[in-house]
Chain A
Amino acid sequence: MFDLLKLACDKAAKAGCQFADARYLSIQRQRVISRDLALSNCNDSEDRGFGVRVLYRGAWGFASSPTYSAAEVERVVELALRIARASAMALRQRGVEWAPEAPLKLSFASSCKLDPFAVPLEDKADLLIAANEVMLGNKAVMRAQGFLSFKRVQRWYANTEGAELHSDVTSSESVIWAIAVGNGDFQERNWKAPATTQGFESYSKAEFVDQAERVAAEAEEKLSAKLAPEGYFDIVTDSENLSLTIHESVGHATELDRVMGYEVSMAGSSFVSRDKMGEFQYGSREVNLVADNTLENGLATQGFDDDGVPGQRWEIVRDGIFQSYSTGREFAHYIDEERSRGSCRADHWSSIPIVRIPNLFLMPGKASLSPDELIGDVKHGLYFEGMDSFSIDQWRLNFQFGGNAVWEIKNGKKAGMLKAALYQSRTPTFWNACDATCDGSHWQAHGITNCGKGDPMQVAQMTHGAAPTRFRNIRICRGRDA
């Protein structure tokens, strides 16, 4: 498989490229979708092709093709060079400063024990339909749905520096949800089986059925929930809810390409300017945020990135102070770092690698602290569970998030459910309002599989994690008028 990739690199080098790399990807997917007591679709897909990226006289060119032959490789390299020459019409004054990386020969595979593509469709149907049947057993539930989604990406990478890298990563994801109708309203409640780079072994019918019963009951309960209060309250987030807040307010904010303006026209920039490194009080002393592209079963754990840099672990925030960014080889020099953090990924063989959020998580608290104890220290507040509405500005400052289910907290205990609750804050205000997070025994990981960035949009996956965490005096507003 490497022969044609090396041919591409050799041809680019002979043409005078400063750097070139070539990637071949074979992507296999399956998505099984249930609607009530039927499967509404099962789509399998197979997608193969290669892309060649060249840095020629300070300008980038990229071209790709689904046809993997020597002749096509030669044509695509020529095309990439032609595109690089067109790019040179508006050349960056400083050129491209490409961080060095020792060329490696390595292979990485995720720990898939039960190949989801080999599991009979009947077993998948059984899992989803059993859950739907349970949800529909609740008379308030009008629609029960779910899906199982599997992806296997085999990747071969070579560059003009001599790297030869291979990875084989399978990832799995599943969600079930119920829509309840009644009381002049309709409400949705879901359960996400954590998305990981594991196979079908992470799913069990018993758990789906258990969760389905709870999901249906809570969907019904949401119908008669009272509207959330407005004002300032203490809030407690579960690990899934906080995972998305980490993603939006820390993950994207600390992508160095955004900080340097490369994403201004679409995804936006970031308030976390370079002068904040090592000094900025991002959060309270309870806040320790760690990036780790070696995290076991993490969705961004892929052995190496699409710049050919191995996965690494580094600190984003230590004891509340901002430490560093996610980078790629083109960006490391902007913060005077000699090596990339290895967080540059493309979502397809026809896409250009861009800086992506790594696996990123909030470290658990050091002292023993349970969720009940965390909630127990809230007189009047809200408990947010699961992901729902999420929106943040282009500097990653002003955000507003909801929860898939929200409860009122009264005198240290969860009380009734609330409807249309949203918490709105500014990133540093919010993280500095964190006064406690539960200990490691309550820490959970949650996969994000639909992270959009780039222009045109690329979709990436990564894992976040946290234990239930408390924030004091946060603004609560409503998504529905009283």
Chain B
Amino acid sequence: MKRQQAQDLIASILEIPHDGELQVLIDGVERLGTRFNDCAVSQNALKQQATLTLSARLEQKKTSITINALDDPDLIRRSVARVFETCRHMPDDEEVMPAIGKVLASHEYAYSAESEAIDIETVGAWAAQACEAGAAAGIDLAGLLAIGKMFTACGDSAGGFAHERHHRCDYHVTATGNHGSGWAEHQGVSIAQNDVIAATARAIDKCAKAQNPEIFQPRPTTVILEPQAVGDLMAMALFYGFDQRARDEGRSPFSDYDQTLGRLSFYSDPADPAFPTVSFSNDGQPLTRSTWLDQGRLQQLMTSRYWARKNSIAAKPTPNNIILTGDGIPVEQLIADTEDGILVTRFWYIRSTDARTLGFTGMTRDGTYRIENGEVTHPVVDMRWNESVLRLLQNVTASGQPVATGEFIEMAMPALKVENFHFTSLSN
């Protein structure tokens, strides 16, 4: 949906008679996802839908309703009446905030004309090409090629409006041999045929080098974590640790914490070319660059509008992307500079083990290798690890260039070389 269409639709909804304040959020998606395994397409689906969320505010009461019929004016009218009726029955909440009421410029940092032009047949052809590469190499390939064409628009009865179109392309592929597997991905707002070919070739190469893994007895050791592994961990850290109110109330790993977390910076910026994204939050707050760690020093964390007002500090909305800076050292050089360590392609199933110390557990997966005297010498059996992100960031000794990654949030992460990483048990 283009900006003018969204503006007209939201204006027509805001004109529906209502008592208090009304906020409107529309999310639209057309997403083609082609899955394959054993070098053949197994699922192929097109999702086309839009959701409309109406939020009503009556003084210190607020509630919301979500429907998915944008083309049903009667239902929308009934839903406006219903959300205000429900709102009247809500108890007061001092944390309810008024609408933003700002008209925001459309940056569309994450819009890609190339992605917009990709059709069903193109995705089918690219997936088929990947499958052929796997068959030619004599290994099983499994993966997903998904193209998301989306828009987000919001407006409110205080005069606010924002709209952007955005794209999300996700290609990830696992190559499996008889005794080991490899993995690679391409993430971004755009994707080209060559990106699919290159990621497929990387996965096949990783797989070839992953056959017949040997046991490395789990112990604290030096690791080089490739970007997906770093991103998976930092996304969990963001969720569990980077909230200002929790910090102020003693419910955060950063409560009463004054140490420096290494020397890298951790920030969000919708305009960052490494992985751009939508430049406003769902309630119409503009998203600009927010720094969470400045060269390892903690800055103000995510802050709700209520907590910001109460403490006379700036609001810092939940971001749409996260970026960790790096030294720009190529992974090959990180390996060459490592005497004894483990190279990790990918993490899996990370879960919190201790919120106080930002402790997590997880597994290595799809390409874990021993480094000896600056060279990858052989694959190793996958391992479980238990590690604190606080300690990990302090133990980073070298890093790469941030590259796009991320399954659930847009991220750009460098490879990290980390000392004393705690592997604890063996997998398969």
Contact = CB atoms under 8 A, between A and B. Distances in A.
A44 B63 CA distance: 9
A454 B65 CA distance: 28
A229 to B, nearest CB: 16
B120 A86 contact: yes
B49 interface: yes
B44 A86 contact: yes
Contacts of B424: 424, 477
Interface in B218-277: 249-252, 255-256
B346 to A, nearest CB: 10
A56 B86 CA distance: 47
Contacts of A317: none
Interface stretch (B155-163, B335-343, B350-358, B395-403): B350-358
A456 B89 CA distance: 37
Interface string A149-193: 000000000000000000000000000000101101110100000
- How many chain B residues sit at the interface, stated as a range, is 35 or more
Contacts of A264: 37, 140, 142, 174, 176, 181
B38 A60 contact: no
A395 interface: yes
Nearest to B362: A391
Contact of A456 (B91, B92, B144, B425): B144
A303 interface: no
- How many chain A residues sit at the interface, stated as a range, is 35 or more
Contacts of B41: 59-60, 86-92
B116 interface: no
A92 B38 contact: yes
A242 B273 CA distance: 46
A391 B38 contact: no
Contact of B356 (A86, A185, A424, A475): A185
A462 interface: no
A175 to B, nearest CB: 17
Contact of A143 (B50, B249, B425): B249
A279 interface: no
B94 A38 contact: yes
B251 A41 contact: no
A45 B66 contact: yes
Interface in B371-419: 382, 384, 386, 388
B363 interface: yes
B315 interface: no
Nearest to B251: A186
Nearest to B364: A393
A389 interface: yes
A90 B91 contact: no
Contact of A89 (B32, B48, B79, B125): B125
B362 A44 contact: no
Contact of A142 (B66, B69, B89, B249): B249
Contacts of A37: 91
B197 interface: no
B354 A44 contact: no
Contacts of B251: 142-143, 179, 181, 186
A265 to B, nearest CB: 4
A44 B359 CA distance: 35
A93 interface: yes
Contact of A83 (B46, B90, B353): B46
Interface in B142-159: 142-144, 146
B386 A479 contact: yes
B290 interface: no
B110 to A, nearest CB: 18
A125 interface: yes
B124 A87 contact: yes
A127 to B, nearest CB: 12
A402 interface: yes
Contacts of B8: none
Given A38-B95, A264-B140, A480 B86 contact: no
A204 interface: no
B33 interface: yes
B262 to A, nearest CB: 18
Interface stretch (A3-11, A63-71, A366-374, A378-386): A63-71
A86 B123 contact: yes
Contacts of A184: 256
A84 interface: yes
Given A391-B349, A393-B365, A45 B37 contact: no
B47 A43 contact: no
Contact of A40 (B34, B71, B95, B361): B95
A280 interface: no
B348 interface: yes
Interface stretch (A46-54, A283-291, A432-440, A443-451): A46-54
B35 A455 contact: yes
B426 A89 contact: no
B197 to A, nearest CB: 15
Contacts of A88: 41
B284 to A, nearest CB: 17
Contacts of B48: 63-65, 350
A479 B361 contact: yes
B36 interface: yes
A143 B120 CA distance: 49
A83 B145 CA distance: 14
Nearest to B134: A90
Contacts of B384: 391, 393, 398, 400, 424
A62 interface: yes
Q: Which interface residue of B82, B249, B256 has the most chain A CB atoms within 10 A?
A: B249
A422 interface: yes
A108 B91 CA distance: 37
Contacts of A185: 356
B127 to A, nearest CB: 6
Contact of B90 (A39, A181, A479): A39
Contacts of B42: 60, 92, 262
Contact of B357 (A40, A181, A395, A480): A480
Given A90-B41, A185-B356, A398 B425 contact: yes
Contacts of B181: 264
B329 interface: no
A477 to B, nearest CB: 6
Nearest to A96: B42
Contacts of B426: 398
Given A86-B121, A261-B176, A400 B361 contact: yes
A351 B173 CA distance: 21
B62 interface: yes
B298 interface: no
A389 B89 contact: no
B34 A87 contact: yes
A281 B172 CA distance: 35
Q: Which interface residue of B40, B95, B131 has the most chain A CB atoms within 10 A?
A: B40
Contacts of B359: 420, 479-480
B93 A39 contact: yes
A352 B351 contact: no
Interface string A21-50: 000000000000001011111111111110
A253 to B, nearest CB: 12
A42 B90 contact: yes
A393 B44 contact: no
Contact of B89 (A121, A400, A402): A121
Given A188-B355, A265-B37, 8 more contacts: A39-B90, A63-B45, A86-B124, A90-B41, A266-B144, A268-B365, A392-B349, A480-B356
26 contacts: A37-B91, A41-B64, A42-B90, A43-B63, A45-B67, A49-B68, A63-B46, A66-B68, A82-B120, A83-B44, A89-B127, A90-B41, A90-B127, A122-B89, A142-B249, A181-B251, A262-B37, A265-B173, A268-B365, A350-B48, A389-B361, A391-B349, A391-B361, A393-B349, A456-B31, A475-B425
What 4 A-B pairs have minimum CB-CB distances, sorted nearest first? Answer: A479-B353, A86-B124, A89-B128, A38-B93
